[in-house]
Amino acid sequence: MPLSTRPLAGQVARTVLRQRHAGAIARTACFNSASAAAAALSGVIVARTVGPAVRGEYAAVTAWFGALLLAGELGQSAAVCFYVASDPQRARGYVATSRAMMMVTGGCALLAGLVVAPLLAHGNPQVTWAYRIVFCGSVIAFIGTGYTFSLQATSTRRWNLVRISQPALALAMIIAARLLDQLTLATAIGALLVSMAVQLGYAYYCCRRCGLAPGRVEPSLIGPLVKCGLAQLAAITPAAINSFLDQLLLSQLVPPADLGRYAIAASVTTVPIPLVSAIGNVAFPRLAARRGRAASSVRLALTAVLVAAGIASAILLPLAASAYWLIPAVFGPAYRGAVPLLWVLTPGGVFLACGQVVGDLLRGLGRPGQVARAQGATAVGAVVLLIALLPAVGVMAAAIASTLAYGMALGLMIRWLSRPARQVRARHRRRKDGAGRQEVLSS
């Protein structure tokens, strides 16, 4: 780290540690890491058991499942959290109203998913059945949105416990299926849906304990929830799509085995995200909001980028250096083809981690639209580049396109974050000059 940024970094660290939110940051980081570890271990077991082809089919099904959840949820996770925190007297009404909305919009998304399932599966009956099962299970996720994210506003401890319950239970079920020699695409998806159902029940129980349930639907709350949810959806959709756009496209353009190897490489590069996202989501937006000055926000962003880059590099560079031996040892010899993909994706993983922090700062400063524009523009570029390179370099095109997209998105967000500092200084000079001229005229 340059000498000029070390005092600021130390000041930021001391400020964070003095805050009463430091415990929440640490707990959230631990739960994020534990959830990611459970999901990663589940992926390792599935990959070693079923092979690259079925692992690719599993990656395709879960990627499209995530896209369906994103579309059907309509940003209600953020909207419910916001209104429960800002208007606790009507918290029950917000939770119940959001749940009713999710049943309607989720049902529409479910019908759309069932219609397109055969197209996504390219006519494969087994994979079509897997798509339909997981799309039906999306109703569980839609109903649980309000319950889970209302806890984020009232009890971080319960929210974290609810979040980790799903990957932990899914891991236990996948291990059991592996020991019984019954681990297939269908049983892996079944473990996902059963764990989601248990998570829904646990979230409802915690909401009752916190006084967030039961509640009655209040039509007057639909408008605020929709408005806030759509604003959040517009801000997060490009970034969310960017994170799995490559796998969505590859699921339709390359053989499942190639997608399976790519999914392994991509999952390794996301290892730093739980730690970095805990910092960005909890600590830095609060600091940026408290300081309030654009110049300070820019300096804070630069420090945040350095911290995120340091964490991501410290994790990913050793993984990339040992990937030639590590990937076959962990996932099996059939996944050796993921090693070159991991090498190309490693810089993208660092860019993605830094982009998480800068994006959170922009949202914390009330400028989510700039995050959406940066991610949306680079997503379009990534699609064009992937399609253009795919005939020449195959699945490597997705690794190249993703790394460049993450880098371009980070560059745009840093550039836009620095603009207000220049604007504030210009306004200050204009006010000073105007005050000086007025003083001269009055004298």
Calpha distance 24→350 (Å, rounded): 25
79 secondary structure, DSSP code: H
Average pLDDT of the residues in 408-421: 75
Calpha distance 298→12 (Å, rounded): 13
Average pLDDT of the residues in 55-84: 82
Percent of the chain past pLDDT 70, that is, above it, reads 78
Return the higher-pLDDT residue of 84 and 202.
202
Q: pLDDT of 22-55, one tens digit each?
A: 566 667 767 777 887 888 888 888 888 888 888 8
pLDDT at 95: 87
- Rounded to 5 degrees, φ, ψ at 332 are 115, 155
Which tokens in the block code for residue 119? 């197209």
Pick from 47-51, 78-82, 135-139: least confident: 78-82
CA dihedral over 273, 275, 280, 282, signed as positive or negative = positive
Calpha distance 374→443 (Å, rounded): 50
Q: Is the pLDDT of residue 85 over 70?
A: yes
Which tokens in the block code for residue 359? 């994006």
Q: pLDDT of 300-351, one tens digit each?
A: 666 767 877 888 889 899 988 998 998 888 888 888 888 999 999 999 888 8
pLDDT band at 296 (very low <50, low <70, confident <90, very high): low
Calpha distance 82→186 (Å, rounded): 37
End-to-end CA distance of the chain: 52
pLDDT band at 424 (very low <50, low <70, confident <90, very high): very low
Q: Which residue has the tokens 């197209």?
A: 119
Strand boundaries in 135-179, DSSP class E: none
Q: Which residue has the tokens 């820019």?
A: 298
Return the domain boundaries, the chain.
Answer: 3-432
Calpha distance 306→326 (Å, rounded): 28
- Rounded to 5 degrees, φ, ψ at 2 are -60, 150
pLDDT at 169: 93
Cβ proximity of 74 and 107 under 8 Å: no
pLDDT at 15: 45
Q: Which residue type is seen at 26?
A: A
Calpha distance 245→14 (Å, rounded): 38
Q: Which residues contact 438 (CB under 8 A, 6 or more apart)?
A: none
- Whole-number mean pLDDT of the chain? 77
Which tokens in the block code for residue 186? 């269908």
Which tokens in the block code for residue 424? 């504030």
253 CB burial (10 A radius; 0-12, 13-18, 19+): middle
Minimal CA–CA distance to 148: which of 87, 201, 109?
A: 201
Q: Which residues contact 115 (CB under 8 A, 6 or more apart)?
A: none
State which of 114-123, 144-153, 190-199, 230-239 shows the largest mean pLDDT: 190-199
Q: Is the pLDDT of residue 96 over 70?
A: yes
For the chain, the maximum distance between any two Cα atoms, rounded to a whole number of angstroms, is 92
pLDDT band at 197 (very low <50, low <70, confident <90, very high): very high
pLDDT band at 18 (very low <50, low <70, confident <90, very high): very low
Q: What is the dihedral of CA 401, 405, 411, 414, to 10 degrees?
A: -160
Percent of the chain past pLDDT 90, that is, above it, reads 8
Strand boundaries in 68-121, DSSP class E: none
Which tokens in the block code for residue 326? 């590590």
Average pLDDT of the residues in 389-418: 84
Cis (ω within 30 of 0) for the bond into 347?
no
In Å, how far are 118, 190, 307, 331 from 129, measured between CA atoms?
9, 12, 45, 26
Q: Which residue type is seen at 24?
A: A
Calpha distance 406→384 (Å, rounded): 15
